[in-house]
C-alpha cells in the first residue's frame, strides 16, 4: 500500500507541475500576443511614407543595397506656366490658385492607404484610345491610349489640366501614375 500511495502521489505531483507549467507557458504566450505593431521601425517608416513625410529608407544600386537613406517629404511643386496650356480652351491649369492646389495636395496625402490614393488617381485620369496614327505603323505602334488628367475645382466640378500640373499638384512622379492606371 505504501508503494501505491507513493506512485499516486508522484503522478499527482507530476500532473500538477504539468498544469502549472502549461499555465506559465500560456501566460507568456498571451503577453506576446499583445504586441504594439505601431512601434516597430518598419511600421513607423511605412506610415510616414504613406502620409508623405520624410523617412529613412533604402536605395538599391544593382545588387548593392544602401540602408539608412534619408528620403525627403512629398512637396507640391510649382504650377504649370506653359504657353500651350494658356492658349488651349480645354485646359484649365490657370483656374487653380495656390490655396486650392494646397488643399488638394493635403487631402490626397492625408488618405490612409495606397489603395485610396490609387483609386483617387484612377478616378481623375481618363484613359481614351488614341485619335489618330501619326507614325503610320498602325497596330504595331506602342502607343495605344491617351491619358486626360483632371483635378477637382469644386466638389462637383472636374476641370481638365495638363499632366505636369496634375503631377506637380499631387506630388507624384509619372511612373507611379502610369503604373497605377495600367493595373
- Tell me the three state secondary structure of residue 8: helix
In this structure, the dihedral spanned by the alpha carbons of residues 96, 101, 104 and 110, taken in order and rounded to 10 degrees, is 180
**CA distances from residue 130 to 23, 140, 142, 145, 147 in whole angstroms, order as listed:** 69, 14, 11, 5, 9
Average pLDDT over residues 164-176: 94
Question: Is 166's pLDDT higher than 80?
Answer: yes
Domain match, 81 and 42 both: no
Domain match, 82 and 29 both: no
What's the total number of domains in the chain? 3
- What pLDDT does 148 receive? 93
Task: Tell me what percent of the residues of the chain surpass a pLDDT of 70.
Answer: 73
Confidence of residue 151 (pLDDT cuts 50, 70, 90): very high
Domain match, 174 and 111 both: yes
For the chain, what percentages of helix, strand and coil (3-state, to nearest 5) are there?
55, 15, 30
Domain match, 64 and 24 both: no
Q: Over the chain, what is the mean pLDDT? A: 81
Domain match, 81 and 69 both: no
pTM of the model: 0.72
Domain match, 135 and 113 both: yes
Q: Residue 43: which domain range?
A: 35-73
Domain match, 56 and 102 both: no
Question: Is 18's pLDDT higher than 60?
Answer: no
Please give the DSSP secondary-structure letter assigned to residue 131: S
Average pLDDT over residues 86-113: 91
Amino acid at each position: 500500500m505504501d508503494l501505491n500511495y507513493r506512485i499516486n502521489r508522484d503522478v499527482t505531483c507530476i500532473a500538477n507541475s504539468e498544469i502549472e507549467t502549461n499555465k506559465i507557458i500560456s501566460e507568456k504566450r498571451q503577453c506576446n500576443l499583445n504586441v504594439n505593431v505601431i512601434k516597430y521601425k518598419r511600421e513607423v517608416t511605412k506610415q510616414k511614407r504613406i502620409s508623405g513625410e520624410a523617412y529613412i529608407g533604402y536605395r538599391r544600386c544593382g545588387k548593392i543595397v544602401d540602408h539608412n537613406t534619408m528620403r525627403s517629404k512629398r512637396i507640391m511643386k510649382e504650377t504649370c506656366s506653359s504657353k500651350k496650356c494658356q492658349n488651349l480652351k480645354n485646359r484649365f491649369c490657370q483656374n487653380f490658385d495656390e490655396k486650392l492646389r494646397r488643399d488638394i495636395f493635403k487631402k490626397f496625402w492625408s488618405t490612409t492607404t495606397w489603395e485610396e490614393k490609387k483609386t483617387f488617381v484612377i478616378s481623375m485620369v481618363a484613359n481614351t484610345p488614341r485619335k489618330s496614327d501619326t507614325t503610320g505603323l498602325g497596330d504595331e505602334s506602342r502607343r495605344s491610349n491617351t491619358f486626360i488628367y483632371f483635378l477637382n475645382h469644386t466638389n462637383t466640378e472636374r476641370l481638365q489640366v495638363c499632366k505636369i500640373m496634375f503631377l506637380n499638384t499631387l506630388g507624384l512622379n509619372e511612373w507611379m501614375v502610369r503604373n497605377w492606371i495600367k493595373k
